[in-house]
Amino acid sequence: MLPLVYSRPADIRAALTAASAADAYFIGGGTNLLDLMKAGVEKAKTLVDVNHLGLDRIESTADGGVRIGAGVRNTDAANHTLIRTNYPLLSQAFLAGASAQLRNMATVGGNLMQRTRCDYFVDTAFEHCNKRKPGSGCAALEGFNKLHAILGASDRCVAVNPSDMSVALVALDAVVNVQGPEGERHIPIVEFHRLPGDHPEIDTTLKRGELITSVDLPKTTATRNANYLKVRERSSYAFALVSVAVALNVPDHRIDSARIALGGVAHKPWLAEKASAALTGKSKNDIDYAAVAALAVADAKPLSQNGYKIPLAKNAVERALRAAVEAA
């Protein structure tokens, strides 16, 4: 780690000012940032502690949804009555991530900002990583890529986003509220994370100096008819090989709208648009599960070691969708 200046602002304005320093980072729980600083991947010179800005509340919104402050701990978000009762899908996703200790530290805003666990990115002993060192190449393309992307990758980067929470947020059509030097913005979750393209060093559409203040969940009727399924190499405390979040609005026996999102398959939490659209208007008793699941991975392109992810993702979608449809 480099020598640090640490500041603990008491309001958002002061935090934004402090963050204008060179190589300044906001720090929430620090579970990912400090790890990467120890590894020499992140080189912060100023840390702006955003744990004292009053961003630790969860409250109902006027339109029947819920606003989760960016500083809320993953544990608290997972266990809040409003989330457990109305958005159990999101509770499930939070609880599928990390360990109890880490969930007690990690914030919602930090979870959105966490970086890929691609070995070539997190270990500076590797020379070629376009995300860590733009223009240096991508060692994963021809290297150890069994955990890497099957959707939306580029020839510059095949890393995946590690978040469970974000996959559920995509299925729930959340909005990320941010505040920056130029004012507030409200970013739909599907536009918050980006695909690698020619600039894999940029994970999100946040602008320099912008701070995530909260995440809004719209009112949902997809409370019971929702499911989060995470497939991993051990039963706890591991990142997803593939995960699936399904949220269905089923007012009667007909699906009004559906959102299927996948984790562990792309540089961002992946909205399976065609699969989701294929469910609209379907009767609960008239779903071709295999066909919908096939649509979710129709555009998948495997690397040398991760071809297994295509049938895995397909089967996971089928299973999660069935559980969501059949939930009472």
Partner 1 sequence: MRDAAGFDAQRRVFLGTVAGGAVTAGVGLPLSSIAEETTHTRTPPTAVPATDVKFRVNGTDHHLRVDARTTLLDALREELRLTGVKKGCDRGQCGACTVIVDGRRINSCLTLAVMHEGANITTVEGLAALGKPSPMQAAFLEHDAFQCGYCTPGQLCSATALLDEIHRNEASAATPDVSHGRVELSDAEIRERMSGNICRCGAYPNIVAAIRTAGNQG
Q: How far apart are CA 23 and CA 45, in angstroms?
A: 5
- Say whether residue 30 binds partner 1 (CB under 8 A): yes
Smallest distance, Å, CB 8 to partner 1?
A: 7
Identify the bridge partners of residue 46 per DSSP, sorted by sequence position: 5, 24
- Say whether residue 78 binds partner 1 (CB under 8 A): yes
- Say whether residue 10 binds partner 1 (CB under 8 A): no
- Say whether residue 221 binds partner 1 (CB under 8 A): no
Q: Which of 14, 17, 21, 49 binds partner 1 (CB under 8 A)?
A: 49
Q: Which stretch binds partner 1 (CB under 8 A): 14-22, 84-92, 129-137, 284-292?
A: 84-92
Q: Which stretch binds partner 1 (CB under 8 A): 85-93, 152-160, 205-213, 258-266?
A: 85-93
Rule CB under 8 A: which of 246-285 touch partner 1?
Answer: none
- Say whether residue 8 binds partner 1 (CB under 8 A): yes
- Say whether residue 5 binds partner 1 (CB under 8 A): yes
Smallest distance, Å, CB 194 to partner 1?
A: 26
Give me 41's structure tokens.
């991947």
Give me 19's structure tokens.
């963050």
Give me 207's structure tokens.
């602008």
Q: Which of 59, 207, 218, 237 binds partner 1 (CB under 8 A)?
A: 237
Smallest distance, Å, CB 291 to partner 1?
A: 30
Which letter, b or e, does each residue of 210-245 get, where b requires 16 or more Cβ atoms within 10 Å of its Cβ? bbbbbbbbeebebeebbbbbbbeeeeeeebbbbbbb
Q: How far apart are CA 26 and CA 142, in angstroms?
A: 34
Give me 214's structure tokens.
């909260």
Q: Which of 20, 60, 124, 236 binds partner 1 (CB under 8 A)?
A: 236
Measured in degrees and rounded to the nearest 5, phi and psi for residue 74 equal -55, -40
Contacts of 193 (CB under 8 A, 6+ apart): 112, 161, 166, 203, 204, 205, 267, 268, 269
Tell me, rounded to whole angstroms, the distance of Cα 268 from its chain centroid. Answer: 7
Q: Which stretch binds partner 1 (CB under 8 A): 31-39, 111-119, 124-132, 310-318?
A: 31-39
Q: Check: CB of residue 21 under 8 Å from CB of residue 5.
A: yes
- Say whether residue 31 binds partner 1 (CB under 8 A): yes
Give me 180's structure tokens.
């920056």
Q: Which of 65, 69, 88, 162 binds partner 1 (CB under 8 A)?
A: 88
- Say whether residue 21 binds partner 1 (CB under 8 A): no
Q: Which of 244, 237, 166, 179 is nearest to 206 (CA)?
A: 179
- Say whether residue 74 binds partner 1 (CB under 8 A): no
Smallest distance, Å, CB 301 to partner 1?
A: 31
Q: How far apart are CA 319 and CA 227, in angstroms?
A: 9
Rule CB under 8 A: which of 97-116 touch partner 1?
Answer: 98-102, 104-105
Q: Check: CB of residue 140 under 8 Å from CB of residue 148.
A: yes
Binding positions for partner 1, rule: CB under 8 A? 1, 3-6, 8, 27, 29-31, 34-35, 38, 47, 49, 51, 75, 78-79, 84-85, 88, 91-92, 95-96, 98-102, 104-105, 223, 235-237
